[in-house]
Amino acid sequence: MIKEILKFFNTIKAGDWFIIILFCALIIVSTKFLWNLPQGEYLEIYKNNKILATYSLNQKITKIINGAKGDTKIIIDNGRVRFVSAPCTKKYCIHQGWINKANQIIICIPNKISISILGNKKNYDSINY
């Protein structure tokens, strides 16, 4: 049994190792990175790349935004946000579902509306209050 495993290992060539290790590393790095993403605190709504409004994510509220093609409806639900309805044909924005992490973004190109989450900008080590 052990011999067979060793035999199998011997068939893996340098190039294969390269790919195996690279992908393992990629998985570990991205898990580590994504796991630690801070939860967002604010929602910024853009229309034509201009800020339309900023909302706290810590509330439960439905907002209707008038875009290039019509009304887009979004829901903020205590820390997360999603598109509910949009006048676009593909509905990609709705299929994205909920987002809740800092720097996450959903863009609806046809209606020229995008929403993104801002976190606590961590450019300090501690807060004085």
Partner 1 sequence: MHLNRLLLYFLIGLLIGCSDSKVNQGKDFIFGTLIDIKIYGESKIDAEKVSNEIFTEFHRLHKLLHPWEKSLITDINTAISENKSITIDSNEILTILNNVQRLETQTQNLFNPSIGKLIKLWGFHSNDYNHKKIPNEKIIQELVSSNPSMQSIRIENGILKSNNENVQIDLGGYAKGYALDQAKKILKENNVENALINIGGNILAVGKYGKRDWVVGIQNPRKPNVLATIALKPGWAIGTSGDYQRYIMVNNQRYSHLINPKTGYPENKTQSATILLPPAEDSGALSDVFSKPLFIIDKENKATMAKKLNIKYFLIIMNDDSILISESLNKEINWEDDIDKRNIKIF
Site for partner 1 in 37-96 (CB under 8 A): 41, 56
Reported residue count of the chain is: 129
The CA-CA-CA angle for residues 83, 85, 91, to 5°, reads 80
**35 lines the binding site for partner 1 (CB under 8 A):** no
How many residues belong to the site for partner 1 (CB under 8 A)?
21
Q: For residue 85, what are the contacts with CB-CB under 8 A and spacing of at least 6?
A: 71, 72, 73, 94
**128 lines the binding site for partner 1 (CB under 8 A):** yes
Residues that bind partner 1 (CB under 8 A): 14, 17-18, 21-22, 25, 28-29, 32-33, 41, 56, 120-121, 123-129
